[in-house]
Amino acid sequence: METEQKQVLAIPGKNDYSEASRQDRLAYIQKQNAVAASRIGNTSLEAESMRGYIENFIGAVQIPVGLAGPLLFDGENAQGLITAPFATTEGALVASACRGSRLLTAAGGVATQVISENVHRAPSFNCESLQDAVRLKNFIEQHTPTIQAMVRQASKYAVLLEIVPVVHGRTLHAIMHFETGDAAGQNMVTVVADHLSRELIKLAEAQLGLIIRSFQIEGGMNGDKKVNFYSFIKGRGVRVAAECTIPDSVFLEQFRLDPNAFYEHYQRGVAASSLVGGMGVNVNIANAIAALFVATGQDVASVHESSIGYLQIERESDGLYCCLTLPSLLIGTVGGGTSLPTQNEALNLLDCAGAGKKARLAEIIAGFCLALDLSTWSAIAAHTFTDAHKRLGRR
Amino acid sequence: METEQKQVLAIPGKNDYSEASRQDRLAYIQKQNAVAASRIGNTSLEAESMRGYIENFIGAVQIPVGLAGPLLFDGENAQGLITAPFATTEGALVASACRGSRLLTAAGGVATQVISENVHRAPSFNCESLQDAVRLKNFIEQHTPTIQAMVRQASKYAVLLEIVPVVHGRTLHAIMHFETGDAAGQNMVTVVADHLSRELIKLAEAQLGLIIRSFQIEGGMNGDKKVNFYSFIKGRGVRVAAECTIPDSVFLEQFRLDPNAFYEHYQRGVAASSLVGGMGVNVNIANAIAALFVATGQDVASVHESSIGYLQIERESDGLYCCLTLPSLLIGTVGGGTSLPTQNEALNLLDCAGAGKKARLAEIIAGFCLALDLSTWSAIAAHTFTDAHKRLGRR
Amino acid sequence: METEQKQVLAIPGKNDYSEASRQDRLAYIQKQNAVAASRIGNTSLEAESMRGYIENFIGAVQIPVGLAGPLLFDGENAQGLITAPFATTEGALVASACRGSRLLTAAGGVATQVISENVHRAPSFNCESLQDAVRLKNFIEQHTPTIQAMVRQASKYAVLLEIVPVVHGRTLHAIMHFETGDAAGQNMVTVVADHLSRELIKLAEAQLGLIIRSFQIEGGMNGDKKVNFYSFIKGRGVRVAAECTIPDSVFLEQFRLDPNAFYEHYQRGVAASSLVGGMGVNVNIANAIAALFVATGQDVASVHESSIGYLQIERESDGLYCCLTLPSLLIGTVGGGTSLPTQNEALNLLDCAGAGKKARLAEIIAGFCLALDLSTWSAIAAHTFTDAHKRLGRR
Amino acid sequence: METEQKQVLAIPGKNDYSEASRQDRLAYIQKQNAVAASRIGNTSLEAESMRGYIENFIGAVQIPVGLAGPLLFDGENAQGLITAPFATTEGALVASACRGSRLLTAAGGVATQVISENVHRAPSFNCESLQDAVRLKNFIEQHTPTIQAMVRQASKYAVLLEIVPVVHGRTLHAIMHFETGDAAGQNMVTVVADHLSRELIKLAEAQLGLIIRSFQIEGGMNGDKKVNFYSFIKGRGVRVAAECTIPDSVFLEQFRLDPNAFYEHYQRGVAASSLVGGMGVNVNIANAIAALFVATGQDVASVHESSIGYLQIERESDGLYCCLTLPSLLIGTVGGGTSLPTQNEALNLLDCAGAGKKARLAEIIAGFCLALDLSTWSAIAAHTFTDAHKRLGRR
């Protein structure tokens, strides 16, 4: 492999966002692979506008968009009938979300509510001993108000809610929880936490005489792009829930399924989820989350950490109480891909573009996740799941 | 809400894949939301071709694509220099993947290998008692060869590897593990498992005199669109790994970071991942997985379950042994979104379109995940992470 | 600390099981601590008989024993009314187990059944590359019958059920699952797996030309004295379940609590268990397991891994279907502490001493765990939990 | 079974702590089982003294006690050489703990430190809607100082550290974290949380007009007798750590094992623990915890939740940095079984009986757990593990 390695030809136009360098890259990839990227290259996105979104830009893929809904909301931030653009390539998904929307709408609509919000970054500080790590922990606990004041000075948007200091050996992890305004906020909390960490080190060295051997902006207790129980328990991004009580008559009429059979099936599914070591309970909320994330310019990688949820269903004497909680929805209505042309349009269709709309977007996502999950779960219980996928998921 | 509910206006053109119905929907959404979907509507995708991909089609979102690599592969199915199309809206991601690719290429390339493959579906059978569920378990264990023969008759592509029967109360969950050829296979295993379940019930009733109170095609022990320890342990989709030993001199030259400092940081990160109840160890493989899934027409919702991985790094006397394992990569090179125009082109750029290419695609994804994760982890250890995101991730 | 360290006086009588050395140790500890161990020292256990149980023997602690039950069994191996010796120091525990026993007995008794059994040991083999580790995995899969035959030659009791080979980087973990006869079997599987590993290395080196850099009898994928999802899913020790359907009238009469209120409380508890990242569902089965383990001479440290369980309750039209599954009960009726005088007597009281009794003991434990857990859960739901502990748990 | 059920003969002497009723029970059990409980019955424990410890008392089991240590401590609360009574029936355990103690003592001793302490109880409040549950959450957050003041009035020992309110559907779980003085505290927090819950309901109804449909003293988010990630992350009981840096020369001399080989083995074990979905990292701390819990009269059922730990080892240029953290050690030095004759003597031998000793006991346990775990892990790496168990674990 020595020889081959010497011939490595770098991708042209590094750090160059011009149309000319885009054309160079299209030529490069065609030469490398003997395949033209003509369809990807044929895009209305302008190379010059891609700074901040992507490097080595060559074009775009097109993801089909379909309409799901209308779904009636009675939420804190989302009200009335809402029809949502779903971007997906998986047949049956939009149809199923529509079916669930009809159920919830017929039941009087879905009540949605944001429960809390935080994005965390967890710098780590490597001390000389366990004892020193404990001292730093105590110091942070005592100086939290001071550190919160630093954040107010350093950032227009970030608010430091809490620092959770965790001692592990001689390392102190400081999990810093922030509110991040309208942005998803991963970059924002990185910049602020970096600043805080450096200030904290100065303080601890000056006031405690502690020697911090090294620090990292992220010691690994963060949940960025990762699923973990800390985020599940504590929340990450927006924690939001969607609730609806479905009268038995409405359930039967809309889904042609005995609510008792449905409930029994759900109940066994709850156990099954635990038996496989799952986190929470749901059938397929990831489908709705991915479809709405792609459509609205969210960080698609965050589908990983965001698609955790717990669907609670309780049997009432004459209906089904349903509430879906999404504990870690990483979303923004400004920043990232939200300002790209088609994505911004999708946000506008939902009245979710720009400032002050994050909670509304979270509630809309939660509502459609509930609609989809009830539809899928009932299709399984009613033995129509396989046929629906045969009919709509194949070509 | 009574009145509002009565006015619910359904989305027009249900089950209609014509251009005319697409236009009706565009008009509908504009009327509902007072916002036009003109950018989304302006697509080269044809309404008539969308059957099987999406319902209620109105247009497309465009996701920018950039080039990552070139990365030198020395795998079982992927060899030589490969440059990959990443679809993302997150600045710094492609640049970081390139940086990691340079490291691995300078170190002699990445050795990749598929370890195993399976997709599971887990129908549940509700018996009359614990005792009956145990009898059904024993029956399935004894009749697995018969059931495997049924699969050979029923499906051209699916191969039944194993059935894991799990008794929970009076319910028997039969986790059926299949190979699914070139397709990701979620629909394939649904159809086959549905057939098998019905045959199994007949057999059990005839031969054991068992009464099966009810069955569902999915009892919830499946990992479709969900992260759980069963899939992490047993694998789901493709289990693939990428390995490289990086000489200290190469690491230092490429990343300008002391390999010891890097290793210490890694090691603390391993502990941190456990402390928050994470699954496996990595910093941000979800970023590469999402970018490659979107580009190549994979089911984007499967980013959720696929973005689990374990990056093992071991300190050698003069280098770093690195191996990333992805246990549950749900991918296909036929079916789903892989045949859409831009997505199929992306697969072609990787020589991964069509039959016999799934293992190659899996190895390419694993290689780029390793490249990206080493780059990100080292940026954190070298204190350049924050600046890189300030520079490339903002506009 | 230099000086102090020099004066370290070792405990006398290493490897000496004589009464004289016991007296030396009693004198030593009195001198070291200025406190006599006269009560502990005053034991009917004979120093000479302690070989294999404990080193540096000085005496015994006495744990009080109370009677729980009678509980009516209708199990595969346990039938009729059984009264069990519970060793505990926690007031209210025995009383609560009695209360639950009355419920189950009034409901017609508890049906118990062993579902499966296995104890695993997981040697690890460190290869030169990922590729070699995969080759070793394939080799093991192909040669499992050969290895099973080796076990039949090497051990009178151990039966090799299965080897699960797991590739992680260049390490191959071979999880070996055994049946272990009447013993709990941790030592048995260690000895057998050690032998198998050495043979396996010879075979792999001879037939594959593989170089195994090193091996360890335990690479860490075992669940010995640890709780993990692998054991929860796959079972460890005995997997046993206990089932009972309780008519509403019996529930109301015995527990003076509306079965619906109880069921609602249970159902919320199921969710709560998932919300905190628990494994399975139960309130306090550890109490019954610990009490029976201490009484019957089980390895008390295995209370840790054995006290996992899932209590499934389903609402029927006129009763509550209840089934508790214990997936990883590490027990034996020979070996370990089971032959000590008081412990062996406790086993005899249960008709569980000696060969062929492990399944019976497992069923008895499962039955009493179900009794206790239903009692505790109902006490919480009925608001009598706090008072019961005030009354019985304090002096 | 109808007939049999009618003949159920209750255990005699309910609620009667007299010697006469003990004799009645001994006669009863002999009659039921045709086996005398003469060894168990032959105890120095007095029936009349058993109130609060156990019901239906018949006698005692004797668990052998051996001496482990001496181990040199340099902790916050434990200093100097300490020899500990281990109660166990598992051969090799005490010997291995002694071996580890020699290592740590030769390395200069173990530095131990309590990091934090809390015991939680989690009452649940069932509201009429998600919205009401969120209102109750906000109310609790705002009134925490008021509730803390209530605790100061209601309890001499309990201190309310924090309330973590968790909304799940229309249920509000209020996880109440307390310090509990010298007692383990499970009963204490039950009584206090019950009182607080009733006051809280009054306040919420009066000030918010909320209707609380029902409440339970425990909704299931507690970790009493259960392992879960919440307790692992947040701590439960005492969170304590033990630290030692072992020079390579000492390690080699004491364990006759290359520290590098040991470290490599450890490192693979860390990965293995994650691969099986374990919590933390250790080989067998449960052994030391169980042995010390039984000896000192702790609640043996709490071995389940207490035996979680993370052993962090870091390779230094000329030594091994080792730190074991036990996040959830449920212990007390007053209450429960700590005042029984032999158990209290064991506490006295450790200078841990009575008030103000809980932190000392926690540090001693952590130190011996570290000693044992290093010994066991090194025995595996050095291939002496199997032989040691053959030699010491069999009769």
**pLDDT means over runs of 10, chain B (395 residues):** 57 96 97 92 96 97 98 98 97 97 98 97 97 97 95 94 98 97 93 95 94 95 95 96 98 97 96 96 98 98 98 96 98 96 98 97 98 97 86 76
Q: What is the pLDDT of residue B34?
A: 85
Distance of residue B207 Cα from the nearest chain C Cα, in angstroms: 21
Distance of residue B167 Cα from the nearest chain C Cα, in angstroms: 8
- Which of chain C's residues have a Cβ under 8 Å away from the Cβ of A314? 264, 267
Contact C171 D93 (CB under 8 A): no
Tokens 């299209």 sit at which residue?
A26
* Residue among D22, D28, D24 nearest D47 (CA): D22
- Which of chain D's residues have a Cβ under 8 Å away from the Cβ of A129? 111, 243
- Rounded Cα distance, D364 and D370, in Å: 10
Indicate left, alpha or beta for D309 from its phi (over 0: left) and psi (-120 to 50: alpha): beta
Distance of residue D395 Cα from the nearest chain C Cα, in angstroms: 5
For residue B205, indicate whether it is catalytic. no
- Judged against a pLDDT cut of 80, whether residue D395 lies above it is answered with no
Q: What is the pLDDT of residue A385?
A: 86
* B28–A contact, CB cutoff 8 A: yes
- Rounded Cα distance, C196 and A242, in Å: 55
* Residue among D312, D319, D313, D317 nearest D259 (CA): D319
- Judged against a pLDDT cut of 60, whether residue D6 lies above it is answered with no
* C147–D contact, CB cutoff 8 A: no
- Which of chain B's residues have a Cβ under 8 Å away from the Cβ of D279? 274, 277
- Which of chain C's residues have a Cβ under 8 Å away from the Cβ of D351? 33, 35
- Rounded Cα distance, D283 and C225, in Å: 7
Average pLDDT of adjacent 10-residue blocks, chain A of 395 residues: 56 96 97 92 96 97 98 98 97 97 98 97 97 97 95 94 98 97 93 95 94 95 95 96 98 97 96 96 98 98 98 96 98 96 98 97 98 97 86 76
Under 8 Å between Cβ of B259 and A278: no
The CA-based dihedral angle spanning residues A157, A160, A161, A165, taken in that order and rounded to the nearest 10 degrees? 150
* B16–A contact, CB cutoff 8 A: no
Q: How many CB atoms lie within 10 A of CB D148?
A: 15
- Rounded Cα distance, D384 and A259, in Å: 61
Amino acid sitting at position B319? G
- E strand or H helix that includes residue A55: none
| β-pair partners for C74 | C79
Region D127-143: what's the mean pLDDT?
Answer: 97
* C274–A contact, CB cutoff 8 A: yes
Q: Please write the tens of the pLDDT for every residue from D306-364.
A: 999 999 999 999 999 999 999 999 999 999 999 999 999 999 999 999 999 999 999 99
- Rounded Cα distance, D65 and A337, in Å: 66
By three-state DSSP, how is residue B38 classified? helix
Contact A314 C276 (CB under 8 A): no
Q: How many CB atoms lie within 10 A of CB D7?
A: 8
Distance of residue A139 Cα from the nearest chain D Cα, in angstroms: 13
* Residue among A260, A241, A364 nearest A312 (CA): A241
What is the DSSP-derived secondary structure letter of residue C11?
A: P
| Residue D208: Cβ-neighbour burial (10 angstroms; 0-12, 13-18, 19+) | middle
Contact A294 B61 (CB under 8 A): yes
Q: What is the pLDDT of residue A2?
A: 41
The token duo for C389 is 């502990």
* Residue among A71, A73, A67 nearest A100 (CA): A71
* B208–C contact, CB cutoff 8 A: no
Q: What is the pLDDT of residue B33?
A: 84
Q: DSSP E strands: which ranges in chain A?
A: 57-74, 79-87, 111-121, 124-126, 159-168, 171-179, 214-216, 237-247, 280-281, 309-315, 319-329
Contact D11 C345 (CB under 8 A): no
According to the 3-state scheme, what is the secondary structure of B109-148? CEEEEEEEEEEEECCEEECCCHHHHHHHHHHHHHCHHHHH
Q: What is the pLDDT of residue D4?
A: 45
How many residues in total does chain D contain?
395
Q: Please write the tens of the pLDDT for every residue from B130-169.
A: 999 999 999 999 999 999 999 999 999 999 999 999 999 9
Q: What is the pLDDT of residue C105?
A: 98
- Which of chain B's residues have a Cβ under 8 Å away from the Cβ of A194? 386
| β-pair partners for D278 | C228
Please provide the average confidence, as pLDDT, over all residues in chain D.
Answer: 95
Q: What is the pLDDT of residue B7?
A: 62
Q: Quickly state the pLDDT bin for D48 (edges 50, 70, 90).
A: very high
CA D164 to the chain's CA centroid: 22
Contact B336 A89 (CB under 8 A): yes
Under 8 Å between Cβ of C53 and C60: no
What is the DSSP-derived secondary structure letter of residue D337?
A: G
Q: Which chains touch C (3 or more CB pairs under 8 A)?
A: A, B, D
Q: Which residue of D has its CA nearest to B232?
A: D275
By three-state DSSP, how is residue C237 classified? strand
How many residues in total does chain A contain?
395
* D18–C contact, CB cutoff 8 A: no
Give the C-alpha distances (Å, rounded to integers) separating C326 from A272, B122, B190, B203, D210. Answer: 15, 22, 31, 29, 40
Sign of CA dihedral A220, A222, A228, A230: positive
Q: What is the pLDDT of residue C389?
A: 82
Q: DSSP E strands: which ranges in C129-209?
A: 159-168, 171-179
Contact A281 C267 (CB under 8 A): no
- Which of chain A's residues have a Cβ under 8 Å away from the Cβ of C280? 274
Give the C-alpha distances (Å, rounded to integers) separating D371 from D260, D288, D311. Answer: 19, 9, 11
Under 8 Å between Cβ of D284 and C225: yes
- The partner residue sitting opposite B233, judged by closest CB among D264, D273, D277, is D277
- E strand or H helix that includes residue D243: strand D237-247
Contact D35 C225 (CB under 8 A): no
Q: What is the pLDDT of residue A214?
A: 94
Q: What is the pLDDT of residue A4?
A: 45
Residue partners of D172: CB distance under 8 A and separation at least 6: D124, D125, D127, D133, D136, D137, D140, D165, D166
Region D369-393: what's the mean pLDDT?
Answer: 91
Catalytic residue chosen out of the listed positions B16, B74, B90, B179: B90
User: What's the pTM value of the predicted model, to 2 decimals?
Assistant: 0.97
Sign of CA dihedral D333, D336, D339, D345: negative
The token duo for B195 is 């057939």
| β-pair partners for D172 | D125, D167
The token duo for B238 is 């493709």
- Which of chain B's residues have a Cβ under 8 Å away from the Cβ of A85? 29, 37, 40, 58
- Judged against a pLDDT cut of 50, whether residue D5 lies above it is answered with no
* D270–C contact, CB cutoff 8 A: yes
- Which of chain B's residues have a Cβ under 8 Å away from the Cβ of C122? none
Q: What is the pLDDT of residue D393?
A: 76
Q: Which residue of C has its CA nearest to A313?
A: C267
| Residue A258: Cβ-neighbour burial (10 angstroms; 0-12, 13-18, 19+) | middle
- Rounded Cα distance, A289 and A296, in Å: 10
The token duo for A28 is 């490069």
- Rounded Cα distance, C313 and C103, in Å: 15
Terminal alpha carbon distance of chain A:
43
Tokens 């032998």 sit at which residue?
C195
Residue environment code for B69-97, b if the CB has 16+ CB neighbours within 10 A, otherwise e = bbbbbbbbbbbebbbbbbbbbbbbbbbbb
- The partner residue sitting opposite C230, judged by closest CB among B111, B233, B312, is B233
- Rounded Cα distance, B63 and B86, in Å: 10
Residue segments in chain C with a per-residue pLDDT below the cut of 70: 1-7
Catalytic annotation, residues of A? 90, 299, 389
- Rounded Cα distance, C184 and C8, in Å: 37
- Kindly state the greatest CA–CA separation across chain B: 75
A contact residues 325-364, partner D, Cβ 8 Å cutoff: 325
Q: What is the pLDDT of residue D7?
A: 62
Under 8 Å between Cβ of B178 and B158: yes
* Residue among A118, A67, D52 nearest B10 (CA): A67
How many residues in total does chain C contain?
395
Q: What is the pLDDT of residue D118?
A: 95
Give the C-alpha distances (Å, rounded to integers) separating A385 from A91, B368, D101, D243. Answer: 13, 36, 61, 56
Give the C-alpha distances (Å, rounded to integers) separating C164 from A309, C139, C148, C370. Answer: 32, 12, 13, 32
* Residue among A309, A367, A261, C41 nearest B126 (CA): A261
Contact C281 A274 (CB under 8 A): yes
Under 8 Å between Cβ of B272 and B258: no
Report H helices in B276-357: 285-296, 303-306, 341-349
The token duo for B179 is 């190979």
- Rounded Cα distance, B94 and B67, in Å: 7
